[in-house]
Structure 1
Amino acid sequence: MTDAPSYGFDTLQVHAGARPDPATGARQVPIYQTTAYVFRDAEHAAALFNLQEVGYIYSRLTNPTVAALQERIATLEGGVGGVCCSSGHAAQIMALFPLMQPGRNIVASSRLYGGTVTQFSQTIKRFGWSAKFVDFDDHAAVAAAIDDDTRAVFCEAIANPGGHITDLDAISAISDAAGIPLIVDNTSATPYLCRPIEHGATLVVHSTTKYLTGNGTVTGGCVVDSGKFDWRANDKFPSLSQPEPAYHGLTFAETFGPLAFTFHGIAIGLRDLGMTMNPQAAHYTLMGIETLSLRMDRHVQNAQTIAKWLQDDPRIDDVTYAGLDSSPYAHLVPKICPKGAGALFTIAVKGGYDACVKLVDSLEIFSHVANLGDTRSLVIHSASTTHRQLTADQQKAAGAGPNIVRLSIGIEDARDLIADLDQALTKAVG
């Protein structure tokens, strides 16, 4: 699309990255179910492998269906490029890979999805990396945690599971002062509710499995590059600012400018890590994004209605939804998420662990699954599932204590969802 920034979100979510197929005229992006691509000649093949020409080589690296999705997500986020991969967890590693070396660390929010906490506290140690977990409401503590070996700051725009909103402007000011990138997981908000790059984020990561696809059919991830970080400003990021031996001394930052991170993610990240998104998954996600704004409006409307009802219910001790006036994060909604506080939050149930388990087992419309962002309403008891591997202190810090149930509000009739919660609470609490 020409002059894409002039188009509105609703137009871009349908058209960005999608062009009629030049061979057939097909209007929907085809599923290019192919492993490899025929080169015009030997000179063309050499140019592609030398990164002298952009094109398709092998589907571990690039695929036309996946490329369309990368362009669409990057456009919606206001970035210069994107790299799609096999899952949200893969996207996190892809985002860190060009930045990190053995002995380096990241400063991460203590309010993260349980699997991310495990990945950062345990798995990345195998690469010689480490993470410092900090309460991102305490800006002084975030700044104090950054040291000479810190290579990134990481948080979620709307935190999973509690729906807490991060003051991205304040956090990006801290990362900018330290000369390191801010990575924001925007899965729970989507670019419709929040555009982290406009608040100073360097990179945005997504689990496209969730709201972007919206129908619980495929897994996927994406890293969006803002194109605004100067990788040559210091010597902290040699993978991007120094000659790359695998490409005969090519320097990504010098050769590709604002697209340095994106090209590195494809030419080295996907080449060597191989966390490739398959074209059918990309196709499903492209179709899902076409209705993103419509779905998110309904998600937010339902979440607002249900959170208010739960807040007044005597069987509930607390509701963490940032869209409630009583929330300590309510003042951040107009600034960070002006179209709504999302549809993910937790409730503290009277009766503790046993009541939570009974509640989950008694719901009929809500599906008990380890997912979020579906059109269907979903429920899970995080302490016994997604956050089970964490210590009690980590669970509490993440907002996933034993008396907490996470709700992902779908697009069904809100009255039916309230009735379902009511009957289940009666069985669980009385």
Structure 2
Amino acid sequence: MNQFTKRLLVFGGLVFGFASFALALTQVVSYKPWGVPDSRRDDYDQRVAELDRQAIERETYQNKPRPSARAWPAVHDFGWVRPGETVRHTVEIENVGNAELNLRIRETNSDRLTAQLEGQQLAPGESTRCTIELVASRQPSAEPFEGRVTISTNDPLNKTVVLSVFSQQRKELVLPGAIDFGSHDMGQASTVDFLIYSQLAQRLNVVDVSNAAFDLQWVAVPEPIDNQTVGDQTLGDLSVTAASRITVEMEAKDYGHYSDQLELTVEIDGQEQQCKLDFGGRVRPPIGFYGPNVDRRTGVDFGTVENNEQHDLFVVVRSRADRSRKIAVLDIEPKELQAELQPLETDGSYRLRISIPKGCPYRRFNLAEQHGYIQIGDPEMKSYSNWLPVYGVVGDFDAD
């Protein structure tokens, strides 16, 4: 046997061995279905098994007579219902198969939901009606009701027919979740208007709107129901019977975020009702910082710089609340930084130069919990001030 033949036989043996190993490996390795988490694997396997069973049954009954149920409409929305109201919906169920169809109400998912079949045996082509009755809850509920009626059949391919109904309960008084006065300056009143409405009452009258901690003015006027919108719906879509638009003007007494509750007294069909409504807002600091070097959340950042030269950043400073007030640099941290404030032509506007001087010793002030700052404000009234965060690292890094 020549050398070429020997090599060919060896190569063939290696290929055969590798193929045998790969085949054996495929027999012992199991692959998980792509995109199915382990927590849902049982559901996935059951669904696949059900689909396989249905495929086998479809093939089995392909040429055999069988019943088949078709329901229309299988989904119905009752819309807005009054507390305790009884509503009904009728569904037509037809046997579109070629064998007798047997029907039976198996269950409903709520004790407030009942269903009644007029007929339980249908010859091919016959139909019957299923009447679904819903008794709305007398307890207030913000969540929509979702009801299901399950009907068992003798159709081997579709053993159940599910009929679905939906509803939403009318409310005596609907308020917004909260109101936002937004951001505004000290000394500036902020105004917001909002809608309250009833889906049951014929008369809605706002008697009082108050809050002990804030000075506010308010006015309420009846709101026409036609074509007025709340979010992405009209008042007609919300089945509103009476509505009022309230406008509140309020002035906060200090800077920063604030939140509290409005106390409302509302007369509904002659009966007074007390309710509360969350509100919030923010009074901007009296001094603002602007410019391409300023991030509104983090301030200014020098980055990492060498101390062999001076480094400057420039920021526009504006006195928002009182443009005639004289302001100055009140404090600097770290102390090695330098800051100079020069007035601009516009009243209340200044140019702030922040500098890391040449020869500054090593300083690191670039952490959220350990950064620098420049405080700008009125030297005679320290509460009229604001802080500009400053970040950076400076040192003689070439020498290191």
Give the TM interval when normalised to the shorter protein. Answer: under 0.3
When Rg is computed on C-alpha atoms for both structures, the one with the higher figure is 2
- Higher helix content, 1 or 2: 1
- Greater relative CO, 1 or 2 (CA 8 Å, sep 6+): 1
- Higher strand content, 1 or 2: 2
TM-score where L is the length of structure 1: 0.19
